[in-house]
Amino acid sequence: ETVMTQSPATLSVSPGERAILSCRASQFISSNLAWYQQKPGLAPRLLIYDASTRATGIPARFSGSGAGTEFTLTISSLQSEDFAVYYCQQYNNWPSLTFGGGTKVEIK
Amino acid sequence: QVQLMQSGAEVKTPGASVKVSCKASGYTFPSYGIAWVRQAPGQGLEWMGWISAYVANTKEAQKFQGRVIMTTDTSTSTAYMELRSLRSDDTAVYYCARWTGKPFFDLWGRGTLVTVSS
């Protein structure tokens, strides 16, 4: 099983600042990575797929990068609605799909 | 409106089964698959399995093989997930999610809380 490790577990950021979230795969996954945002009590929302492609309707302040085993989600200027938990998910090793443990982005 | 509507919360005793439904609307149901993902209280996301809405092929995560049954009813655009032999650690919110063709999920239901308790 491909283990996905996200860091940090919690990220404290002030509104307007940039947030950088990391996701590491235990083995090579090419660019087969998605990012989701989840707010309390709500379902996850797809942000990024194929490591760097924004999903429909996702603002340009969200960007994804990386390939192989190291990936990054960057939020260029945090808005109040961006404070949430973010998960990465690999889909290279179908049918084994795995999620990272999540990074909580909180207000500093 | 494109959405997935899930059935309501359930409370089950250990050893029982639960069946969660997920009704799709606003898009062509057979054109996409449906995945099931669960989230235990305060925990992360766990993929359970996938079903093709068109040909009803399924693939389960190894952890759930033999215990989960996924079906679809194309006449009502509804997917179902049945989990058997429930244990207390099956307590979680169960989500259905639309599968785009690649194994990531662009549309999610609101989730169904399943509580397993004696």
**Pairwise CB contact (< 8 Å): B106 & A96:** no
Chain A residues inside the 8 Å CB shell of B106: 46, 49, 55-56
- A67 at B interface, C-beta within 8 A: no
Nearest to B24 by CA among B60, B58, B54, B66: B54
**Pairwise CB contact (< 8 Å): A49 & B50:** no
Residue A46, beta-bridge partner list: A36
The per-residue pLDDT for range B8-48, each reduced to its tens digit, is: 999 999 999 999 999 999 999 999 999 999 999 999 999 99
Q: Considering chain B, what is the average pLDDT of its residues?
A: 95
Which pLDDT value is given to residue B110?
Answer: 97
Q: B3-6 and A62-67: which strand pairing?
A: unpaired
Q: What is the mean pLDDT of residues B92-112?
A: 95
Which pLDDT value is given to residue A94?
Answer: 84
Residue B101, helix vs strand vs coil: coil
**CA–CA separation, B13 and B118 (whole Å):** 5
Q: Pick B110's closest partner by Cβ from A43, A87, A96.
A: A43
Q: Which of residues 68-87 of A touch B (CB under 8 A)?
A: 87
With beta carbons less than 8 A apart as the criterion, state whether B110 and B7 touch. no
| Element at A38 (helix H, strand E) | strand A33-38
**Pairwise CB contact (< 8 Å): A99 & B106:** no
**CA–CA separation, A44 and A51 (whole Å):** 17
With beta carbons less than 8 A apart as the criterion, state whether B20 and B12 touch. no
- B56: confidence class by pLDDT, cuts 50, 70, 90: confident
With beta carbons less than 8 A apart as the criterion, state whether B57 and B99 touch. no
Chain A residues inside the 8 Å CB shell of B59: 94-95
| C-alpha gyration radius of chain A | 13
Nearest to B55 by CA among B69, B39, B74: B74
Tokens of B35: 């995945």
Q: What is the mean pLDDT of residues A21-33?
A: 97
**Pairwise CB contact (< 8 Å): B108 & A43:** yes
The per-residue pLDDT for range A44-94, each reduced to its tens digit, is: 999 999 999 999 999 999 999 999 999 999 999 999 999 999 999 999 988
**CA–CA separation, A99 and A48 (whole Å):** 14
The amino acid present at B33, given as its one-letter code, is G
| Selected residue of B50, B62, B104 to mutate for chain A interface (largest A Cβ count, 10 A) | B104
Tokens of B23: 């009704």
